[in-house]
Amino acid sequence: GENVEQHPSTLSVQEGDSAVIKCTYSDSASNYFPWYKQELGKGPQLIIDIRSNVGEKKDQRIAVTLNKTAKHFSLHITETQPEDSAVYFCAASNTNAGKSTFGDGTTLTVKP
Amino acid sequence: EAQVTQNPRYLITVTGKKLTVTCSQNMNHEYMSWYRQDPGLGLRQIYYSMNVEVTDKGDVPEGYKVSRKEKRNFPLILESPSPNQTSLYFCASSIRSSYNEQFFGPGTRLTVL
User: Is residue B61 within 8 angstroms of chain A, CB to CB?
Assistant: no
A-B C-beta contacts closer than 8 Å: 75
Distance from CA of B68 to the nearest CA of A (A): 14
The percent of residues above 90 in pLDDT, for chain A, comes to: 89
B residues 1-40 lying closer than 8 A (beta carbon) to A = 4, 31, 33, 35, 40
User: Is residue A96 within 8 angstroms of chain B, CB to CB?
Assistant: yes
3-class secondary-structure state, position B85: helix
Count helices and strands in chain B by DSSP H and E runs: 0, 11
Q: How many CA atoms lie within 13 A of A3 on its CB side?
A: 2
Asked if B40 contacts A101 with a C-beta cutoff of 8 angstroms, the reply is: no
Chain B hits for A6, Cβ within 8 Å = 42
**Inter-chain residue contact B42 with A49, CB threshold 8 Å:** no
Burial class (CB in 10 A: 0-12, 13-18, 19+), A76: middle
Asked if B97 contacts A96 with a C-beta cutoff of 8 angstroms, the reply is: yes
- Provide the pairing of β-strand A4-7 with A32-38: unpaired
pLDDT at B76: 98
**Inter-chain residue contact A46 with B102, CB threshold 8 Å:** yes
pLDDT at B29: 96
Confidence class for position A41, pLDDT limits 50, 70, 90: very high
**Type of residue numbered A99:** K
Mean pLDDT of chain A: 95
pLDDT tens column, B70-93: 999 999 999 999 999 999 999 999
Chain A hits for B106, Cβ within 8 Å = 42-43
Cα–Cα distance measured from residue B1 to residue A47, given in angstroms and rounded to the nearest whole number: 19
Closest CA in chain B for residue A95: B99
pLDDT at B99: 83
Cα–Cα distance measured from residue B36 to residue B83, given in angstroms and rounded to the nearest whole number: 14
3-class secondary-structure state, position A16: coil
User: Is residue A97 within 8 angstroms of chain B, CB to CB?
Assistant: yes
**Inter-chain residue contact B59 with A9, CB threshold 8 Å:** no
Confidence class for position A19, pLDDT limits 50, 70, 90: very high
Per-residue burial over A92-109, b if 16 or more Cβ lie within 10 Å, else e, is bbbeebbbbbbbbbbebe
Q: Mean pLDDT in runs of 10 for chain B (113 residues)?
A: 95 97 97 95 95 95 97 98 98 90 97 97
Asked if A27 contacts A2 with a C-beta cutoff of 8 angstroms, the reply is: yes
**How far lies B81's CA from each of A79, A89, B2, B12, B46, in Å?**
46, 28, 31, 11, 15
pLDDT tens column, A49-104: 999 888 999 999 999 999 999 999 999 999 999 999 999 999 999 877 789 999 99
Nearest to B98 among A43, A93, A105 (CB): A93
Chain A hits for B31, Cβ within 8 Å = 98
Kindly state the average pLDDT of the residues A4-23.
98
pLDDT at B2: 86
Q: What are phi and psi of B85, to 5 degrees?
A: -95, 5
